[in-house]
Copies of this chain bind each other. A is one copy, B any other.
């Protein structure tokens, strides 16, 4: 009889392949597919999800898991084998409560909703989009009803994007974060005239932006033999193996940071996928599972590296060289100040590092109200606009710049948003730790040498794939759980420099 461990690995390898198929269907839909392909694509996505789900939740998987567990022979918990059994067991326990038909319906609705959102956003037409959103939340309620082992409905959802994440704990962290961010924003707002970011607005031909982004990505480790970059309405990153990493970006000819920092952000995600150990490929550990950890990587590269003073020292001359004209003599400090200007705004993905957290907190609050039925979906635009007024002091002019700006709810991704702000917090912790481990890190970044940091992240974070929950991994890397203060300290230090203020 074959080794039960081998059998489990084989079954999970086929499921990893099917996960890649689902990711490719989604990548293609977002980057390549002609629009009228959407209805057929939704059916294909649903079938792949149904077949994968049936195969995963079968009794046979449970039997193999049990047999493999009894063969672990005291393997240490952080070994590949023990991690495979532990993580697969956790996923199986959750998935088997969900009927395969519901899993297929969710996948189909995600694909259909995504296509509908593209049009609705273009036309800023929430009413047209409402039925799709109502259908998504109806399915989400049916999904939540499959579980009786969570404290609240939102925990069920959050756990899909942040394994073992809990709403209460996130709310506690966000309360602390909010109490730090709001006074910080208030102070900086009082001195808004100290920072000028007008150099970021102008006429930036896409062909030149591509030159700049090519340089940036090469510095980070992007390599055409194993990576791609394409355009997408809502940029994202995905990976089909550690040697097939796909990132996307978008280009704004009037505003430089969209492509530059968007590309660094997605490349940060891509480095995570690329860095996962070869031994974990084609297993459930072969992709990062915690989106908070994933986002910590993208935000660390985008903001802490890309918007940091050291790297601005090499980025500014590149910008000057590529665009010339008014930017010909661009000084690093001018760039550093401009890209760190704080200003409450409407669009999450264009928000500065400080107000960004409030964009997330608004979504986190609204999602809970929607899931618990305290807010009707048709009333969402009104609630959205009111919350933006209250938290950020901005008036939402239309739904395209409001509730329709993000793809997530359209694609059925409810409970996903908090991972973005958690990612910022974790990035703060890791960047602090990396500085402690690499005393000359700032000098490296200032010389445009990014491989030292990349290798540090690979060693401490990337290579482990989905082995550890965020709590487990953070304990290994920084010695404790998610914390707010390193991120806030980082912000205060930066804003102190940029705005010439004493914020300690």
Contact = CB atoms under 8 A, between A and B. Distances in A.
Interface of A: 13-14, 17-18, 20-21, 24-25, 28, 32-37, 39-41, 43-44, 46-48, 50-51, 55, 224-228, 240-241, 243-245, 281-282
Contacts of A225: 34-36
A34 B282 contact: no
Contacts of A33: 228, 244
Contact of A44 (B20, B39, B47, B228): B20
B226 A44 contact: no
A33 B239 CA distance: 11
A225 B48 CA distance: 25
A226 B17 contact: no
7 contacts: A14-B47, A17-B43, A34-B226, A34-B228, A36-B244, A40-B241, A40-B244
Nearest 10 interchain pairs by C-beta:
A37-B244, A40-B241, A17-B47, A36-B243, A36-B226, A17-B44, A14-B47, A36-B225, A34-B226, A20-B44
A282 B13 CA distance: 27
Nearest to A40: B241
A14 B33 CA distance: 20
Contacts of A243: 34, 36-37, 39-40
A48 B32 contact: no
A47 B35 contact: no
Given A17-B48, A34-B224, A227-B34, A43 B282 contact: yes
A193 B455 CA distance: 66
A46 B20 CA distance: 13
Contacts of A55: 51
